[in-house]
Structure 1
Amino acid sequence: MKSVEEFLVYAARLEQEAALRFDELADAAGSFDNTEVSGFFRQMAEYSRMHLEEARKRGGFRDLPDMAPGDYDWPQLESPEAAAIWAADPQMDVAMALSVALDAETNGLAFYQGVLDRTSDPEIKAMAAEFVEEEAEHVAAIQRWIARSAA
């Protein structure tokens, strides 16, 4: 990351994608009448929207600056938290939904950890550390759900 603004644009896009994917997972869980898991995914989507708003406020932008999808230099082809399209398949069971969510959050955590590890900018480092902490909490929450679901 070359600037705080660039970091915030990436963070906002990542959180925007995460909110969309978690809403899709909530819809999928609801389609197999698992209201508890659906509610969990709605809460995760809400957390992502809160992070999105935080990045927007810190960056001073109401809408994300125009960047074509190809302008982002993601570690993979898309935003790290963007779960695969099949993730919202209504035939998916709870274990698969939780696994997909865990993959998405783990990828987000790795992205922010990578920024933290590579940047020398103290302001970016401080922001990235905050996002690492929040993403680690999300990963832990999903792991608790997986353990509870398996029990």
Structure 2
Amino acid sequence: MMESVDEFLAYAARLEQEAVLRFKELAEAAKTHGNKEVHEFFAQMAHYSQMHYQQAKERCGYHDLPVMSHDDFKWPEMESPEAAAIWGADPLMGVQEAMRLALEAELRGYEFYKNVLDTTTDPEIRAMAQEFTDEEAEHVEAIQRWIQRLAA
């Protein structure tokens, strides 16, 4: 359970920062293999994650996020939720597979924030977790719409 707003924001920033790195790696790998559509999709996902990272940092206001080592973070899995979902992706995958992978990453991010929302007793953390949960839900819905369009 999150014990402070700063701790929550440190988790949110790390989650988004790691998603940026993974999505950029996938975008570059897809580009190297000539997979333009998947490259563009993952580059866009990296951009969205970068925006969320900036939002988490900005919510700290005038002070810095707490310094936490890799081992200080207690994730449901070994890595942050979104990074764990995209760890073993294939740069040669098709667009639909890339979207399903992104959907899994966003669902894991949503579940992480929803768990914080459901378990915290701090009203300020609850309010922030609600915002992050809502944003992740919007991303999940957008990716689901893309997948449906591709399947049509």
2:62 and 2:76 map into 1 onto residues whose CA distance is 25
Match of 2:25 in 1: 24
Secondary structure at the residue paired with 2:82? coil
Secondary structure at the residue paired with 2:41? helix
The letter of the residue matching 2:11 is: Y
Match of 1:86 in 2: 88
Shift of 1:119: 0.7
1:81 and 1:8 map into 2 onto residues whose CA distance is 16
Secondary structure at the residue paired with 1:76? coil
Give the conservation status (yes or no) of the 8 Å contact 1:26–1:41. yes
Give the conservation status (yes or no) of the 8 Å contact 2:38–2:94. no
Match of 2:108 in 1: 107
The structure-2 alpha-carbon separation of the partners of 1:63 and 1:101, relative to structure 1 and needing over 3 Å to count, comes to: farther
TM-score (norm 2): 0.86
Matches within 5 A, 1:36-115: 36-60=37-61, 65-82=66-83, 83-87=85-89, 89-115=90-116
Q: Deviations over 1:106-130 (max 9, x none)?
A: 0000000000000111100110000
The letter of the residue matching 2:16 is: E
Shift of 1:64: 5.1
Report which stretch shifted further, 132-141 or 93-102.
Answer: 93-102
The structure-2 alpha-carbon separation of the partners of 1:63 and 1:35, relative to structure 1 and needing over 3 Å to count, comes to: farther
Match of 1:126 in 2: 127
Instruction: Note the residue ranges of structure 2 that are not aligned, 5 or more in a row.
Output: none
Shift of 1:65: 3.9
CA RMSD, 1 decimal: 2.1
Secondary structure at the residue paired with 1:81? helix
Secondary structure at the residue paired with 2:92? coil
2:24 and 2:86 map into 1 onto residues whose CA distance is 13
Instruction: Note the residue ranges of structure 1 that are not aligned, 5 or more in a row.
Output: none
The structure-2 alpha-carbon separation of the partners of 1:84 and 1:41, relative to structure 1 and needing over 3 Å to count, comes to: closer
Secondary structure at the residue paired with 1:59? coil
The letter of the residue matching 2:105 is: A
Shift of 1:48: 1.2
Give the conservation status (yes or no) of the 8 Å contact 1:25–1:97. no
The number of residue pairs the alignment matches comes to 150
